[in-house]
Structure 1
């Protein structure tokens, strides 16, 4: 099968049964992943604000990248992480350094409520430029990108659980209008909203109707 992986603000360590281990960074576009029958994979997911503090790397460098885990972690650490993820345990070596409470709060406001970036910066007592630096270091994405992905995810949840039309869903999930919804879904998922909805409901096979996907 082919799995369409769409932006959700998170990052993952994926370990396959043959020992292959990969890191998938935060993304702003979709990826089509072919999976052969019998594929067995286990994973560890990083919350949006935890990527930089966990890996102790500038998270911005990992955006839109899928890498071997050895490209992200030293070999010895990589082997330990892969073994423990496969065993279903959180790797002790990935215990995060402290996560900035401002970033944690900002991510929640932008992702869940769709608050304006300027309003969040004002609430946290920082400039928009400083908020952007904090977000890039912690999440790999700008505040505006986190806001976009959150709005897109709110649309997906609403579309999966409601029979409402696209114009109604656009209004309910923070888009200016249906045209804005269509542009954003094309950019983030590679399909029109209607095609993506059909794909997710099983009415259209993944990868068909592909439009604008790298």
Structure 2
């Protein structure tokens, strides 16, 4: 599948809405509609999870992904979603987050039918679901994620938090669904995308160095593994969709 297969058509609309007040569990809500023909959308790993409600009323929890996802969106499709922060996936949903890794699970499989229906209605209206408890968070995982984004070693992060590396890995995996190494890869990949989106005319070698890759070849391998495209093709696709 090439980039043109996944470039959103001109009739596709997507918008994110940040909470008026920052929420410890929620990254954003979002809405998407397709006013043109069906297309395959390239969804890149961001270490978050989403609650998604479709036009037909189907409510799904999409777990944290370790590689690109390519869902097909139909013409006339309308979606509303709520994106959970990386550290909040397990605490928010009340289960080990690794049980959702690379999976799409009906909301009714995680909550009683009546509560699942209420949550779906709230997401559809763009509201924060009432089941979200701001106190259901693990500050140590948030600190660990900050260290991983700064490219700190797992052993150093664990020592700073007063625990063993093994304990840290278990804690991070249960809360985020992903291993620290995978989280580091995704954070570096997202850094590359952010730099490319906000830097005028950068070279791939410069982007690779600034994002923390060993060299341009390392960048190319990681980008293909996480997006399914070469860096040049991925950036061209993103520019075409902007």
Normalising by structure 2, what TM-score?
0.80
CA distance in structure 2 between the aligned counterparts of 1:103 and 1:39, rounded to whole angstroms: 36
Cα shift at 1:88: 1.5
Partner of 1:35: 73
Cα shift at 1:116: 2.1
Secondary structure of 1:70's counterpart equals helix
Which of 176, 188, 194 is equivalent to 1:151? 188
Match status 1:171 vs 2:209: yes
Partner of 2:28: none
More helix by share: 1
Partner of 1:118: 155
Q: How does 1:20-99 map to 2 (within 5 A)?
A: 20-95=58-133, 98-99=136-137
Alpha-carbon contact 1:185-1:191 (below 8 Å) kept: yes
CA distance in structure 2 between the aligned counterparts of 1:127 and 1:156, rounded to whole angstroms: 32
Which of 164, 171, 175 is equivalent to 1:127? 164
Q: CA RMSD in A?
A: 1.4
CA distance in structure 1 between the aligned counterparts of 2:50 and 2:116, rounded to whole angstroms: 14
CA distance in structure 2 between the aligned counterparts of 1:107 and 1:74, rounded to whole angstroms: 32
**1:126-161 per-position Cα deviation (integer Å, ceiling 9, x unaligned):** 111110000011000111111111000000111122
Which of 118, 122, 141 is equivalent to 2:178? 141
Cα shift at 1:37: 2.6
Secondary structure of 1:44's counterpart equals strand
Q: Which runs of 5+ in 1 are unaligned?
A: 204-214
Q: Which runs of 5+ in 2 are unaligned?
A: 1-38
Normalising by structure 1, what TM-score?
0.90
**1:25-67 per-position Cα deviation (integer Å, ceiling 9, x unaligned):** 0011001122223221111110000011011101111111112
